[in-house]
């Protein structure tokens, strides 16, 4: 991310404001609409994924570095670990009491 001549990180401000807009959109959707619960959960999940991608790009500098391939591999590994952790936790909480 480049800064302008005065050193003000405008890209970070834009990313922050966009994240706020996505958050407020999710809050509005949850509290002010009469959509079915499954639809609300789906849209909020989609907004969350978009916001996570935005934050990775704007704040974690995913587009910087000498080797962009390493960044992609690291993110894929992080998602794999997150999925295994969540799925394992759900599995243990659901079926662990039988043991």
**Per-residue pLDDT tens for 18-51?**
999 999 999 999 999 999 999 999 999 999 999 9
Alpha-carbon span 46 to 62, nearest angstrom: 20
Torsion angle of alpha carbons 88, 44, 1, 17, nearest 10°?
Answer: -140
pLDDT tier, 5 (very low <50, low <70, confident <90, very high otherwise): low
Alpha-carbon span 14 to 4, nearest angstrom: 13
């Amino acid at each position: 991310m480049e800064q302008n001549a005065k050193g003000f990180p405008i890209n970070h401000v834009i990313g922050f404001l966009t994240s706020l807009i996505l958050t407020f959109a999710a809050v509005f959707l949850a509290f002010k609409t009469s959509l079915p619960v499954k639809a609300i959960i789906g849209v909020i999940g989609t907004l969350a994924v978009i916001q996570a991608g935005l934050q990775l790009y704007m704040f974690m500098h995913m587009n910087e570095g000498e080797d962009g391939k390493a960044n992609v591999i690291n993110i894929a590994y992080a998602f794999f670990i997150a999925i295994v952790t969540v799925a394992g936790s759900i599995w243990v909480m659901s079926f662990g009491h039988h043991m």
